[in-house]
């Protein structure tokens, strides 16, 4: 909208508002009505046309010996029968109590330093507090505690790497998280 068009619209709004206020006062509003009629009689502004819409450029995929973008980079046959295998738990090792909880359901509520070493205090969702030490396991991905500091508990988890194998990843439970 051009500046003249905006001014015209603004003038009409002012005229209508002033007319409504003046009519409520009950006084002679002849000059106001004449001014409003004069503003309404002015020609409206010209509306500029919309810009032309250009179509998006067309892209034609020509493989030329490249792989399809809709197929995985690693063939399914190379991944094995199950592309996302379940965690291969160590069958000979009994599972610890805190391994039944996901890490986000556990909260570190404190740490203890004694002559025997460092301990972490981990609270489960049901409010119970468990004492853990380096080497203990927690979390569903065979998380093994590697360090306990004043800031929290550091651990290493074993997770699927998406190609049929496993990889280790670091995780940390901070104090008060």
User: pTM here?
Assistant: 0.49
Q: Are residues 56 and 119 in the same domain?
A: no
Confidence (pLDDT) at 22? 55
Report how far apart, in Å, the C-alpha atoms of 88 and of each of 33, 47, 129, 159, 165 are: 87, 70, 28, 9, 9
Confidence (pLDDT) at 65? 81
The pLDDT tens digits for 143-154 are 999 999 999 999
Question: Last residue of a domain, which of 48, 67, 86?
Answer: 67
Residue 93 pLDDT greater than 90, yes or no: no
Residue 87: inside a domain, yes or no? no
Q: Are residues 122 and 166 in the same domain?
A: yes
Residue 79: inside a domain, yes or no? no
Q: How many domains, in total, are found in the chain?
A: 2
What proportion of the chain, given as a percentage, has pLDDT over 70?
Answer: 76
Name the residue range of residue 1's domain.
1-67
Q: Are residues 61 and 108 in the same domain?
A: no
Q: What DSSP character marks residue 44? A: P
């Amino acid at each position: 909208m051009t500046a003249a068009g905006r001014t015209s619209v603004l003038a009409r709004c002012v005229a209508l508002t002033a007319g409504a206020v003046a009519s409520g006062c009950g006084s002679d509003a002849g000059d106001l009505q004449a001014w409003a009629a004069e503003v309404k009689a002015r020609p409206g502004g010209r509306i500029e046309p919309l810009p032309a819409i250009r179509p998006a450029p067309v892209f034609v995929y020509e493989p030329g010996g490249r792989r399809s973008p809709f197929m995985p980079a690693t063939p399914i046959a190379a991944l094995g029968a199950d592309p996302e295998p379940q965690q291969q738990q160590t069958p000979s090792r009994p599972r610890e109590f805190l391994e039944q909880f996901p890490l986000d359901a556990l909260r570190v509520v404190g740490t203890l330093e004694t002559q025997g070493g460092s301990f972490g205090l981990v609270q489960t969702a049901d409010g119970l507090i468990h004492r853990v030490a380096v080497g203990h396991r927690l979390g569903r991905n065979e998380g093994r505690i590697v360090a306990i500091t004043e800031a929290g508990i550091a651990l290493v988890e074993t997770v699927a790497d998406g190609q049929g194998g496993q990889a280790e990843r670091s995780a940390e439970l901070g104090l008060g998280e």
